[in-house]
Amino acid sequence: MADTNARLTLGEKSFDLPVLSGSVGPDVIDIRKLYAQTGAFTYDPGYTSTGSCESEITYIDGDQGILLHRGYPIDQLAEHSTFMEVAYLLLNGDLPSQDELNNFTYTISRHTMLHEQLSTFYRGFRRDAHPMAIMCGVVGALSAFYHDSTDITDPKQRMIASHRLIAKMPTIAAMAYKYSVGQPFLYPQNNLSYTGNFLRMTFGVPAEPYEVNPVIENAMRRIFILHADHEQNASTSTVRLAGSSGANPFACIAAGIACLWGPAHGGANEAALNMLREIGRPERIPEYIARAKDKEDPFRLMGFGHRVYKNFDPRAKVMQRTAEEVLNELGISDPIFDVARELEQIALKDDYFIEKKLYPNVDFYSGVILSAIGFPTSMFTALFALARTVGWVAQWNEMISDPDQKIGRPRQLYTGPTQRDYVPVERR
């Protein structure tokens, strides 16, 4: 409800625009009637000041480094909850009771297998296909296999599609990996945890039993929780925009995966590790810091900076701790980790990074952990997509249930030619 108005003066006229307040966070100026009243649009490429929807799922305070899911701080969830609890929380609004959690976990586990014919679908890809290319294709193709959950007007079908997506994503991602290394696909094993099952499908082979290492399982649990949702980021907004036209959920999540792939978003973990490898040893750090600061050089420190976090990324702290745990457990002394720690220290003391408020983000340490566990860099973004699917489906459900929801259709500031007459080719 609007308690107050913002006054806009445009030429000779003034207009009152309602100001809406959420439960916490900045107020928003409601400009829904702006064009009808004034004939003007707003201009905000990159949406740096635009709220695109009302949401009850995730809250971020970028200045304070706060990330809350349904009110719960991310570090508490990463420390104490299972991924299934977080998935339930994001989808349903509250932490589950023990019974609700058992039912939810059981339901998800009933959907972990893929339609058998989908395994032949994989064989259409080249062996060196990027896992994200496979993920986009296979997830989009789910709509051709699960017709009974594509009616978005039916809340039951929406929930079944959501459960299917959450349950099948580890199977899809693990199969993308298996395909790339030429090993047989492994079926899910539902007595394992969500992350344990994923680790087994990825690193197990049918010829031998696979023991899930609890430290690695716990690290994966944290990584999945830290990536589960992040408010209206680029891929989530893509999912919402695709869904706003009434597209089926599998197609919408495939659109989210496509957006996540980019190096400025989910692809940054892959890019960050490649960068750390390129730097190779701490002595070379100053050279890369200088390049990051050079306006003529397009190089950026990957894993640094965030559109919203301008103090620290609360996910990065948990990630750094987890990296230490995993490297200790595996007995790995990875020079890349030393480079990462040193780079962080140097950058945090550098005026350029201080002034621009650039801090390590979630991707800075995640690559170190994933690489130590044995994932190739090309799988990093696929793991991000796997975990973020929970947030995507929660946000998609919220959007479809919102009575104010309309097809997303931004406007533009047109700067092209005005109307002109067609000239036949011989006279051009």
Q: Which residues bind ligand CMC (CB under 6 A)?
A: 230, 233, 264-266, 268, 292, 300-307, 356, 358, 361-363
Residue closer to ligand CMC by CB (options 78, 301) is 301
From the list 130, 163, 227, 363, the catalytic residue is: 363
Residue closer to ligand CMC by CB (options 26, 214) is 26
Q: How far is the CB of 301 from ligand CMC (least distance, A)?
A: 4
3-state secondary structure the chain: CEEEEEEEEECCEEEEEEEECCCCCCCEECCCCHHHHHCCCCCCHHHCCCCCCCCCCEEEECCCCEEEECCEEHHHHHHHCCHHHHHHHHHHCCCCCHHHHHHHHHHHHCCCCCCCCHHHHHCCCCCCCCHHHHHHHHHHHHHHHCHHHCCCCCHHHHHHHHHHHHHHHHHHHHHHHHHHHCCCCCCCCCCCCHHHHHHHHHHCCCCCCCCCCHHHHHHHHHHHHHHCCCCCCHHHHHHHHHHHCCCCHHHHHHHHHHHHCCCCCCCHHHHHHHHHHHHCCHHHHHHHHHHHHCCCCCCCCCCECCCCCCCCCHHHHHHHHHHHHHHHHHCCCCHHHHHHHHHHHHHHHCHHHHHCCCCECHHHHHHHHHHHHCCCHHHHHHHHHHHHHHHHHHHHHHHHHCCCCCCCCCCCCCCCCCCCCCCCHHHC
Q: How far is the CB of 308 from ligand CMC (least distance, A)?
A: 8
Active site residue 128: no
Residue closer to ligand CMC by CB (options 112, 269) is 269
Please give the residue whose beta carbon sits closest to ligand CMC in the complex.
305
Residue closer to ligand CMC by CB (options 71, 263) is 263
Q: How far is the CB of 143 from ligand CMC (least distance, A)?
A: 25
Residue closer to ligand CMC by CB (options 104, 384) is 384
From the list 69, 163, 227, 306, the catalytic residue is: 306
Active site residue 363: yes
Q: How far is the CB of 159 from ligand CMC (least distance, A)?
A: 27
Q: How far is the CB of 384 from ligand CMC (least distance, A)?
A: 8
Residues tagged active-site? 306, 363
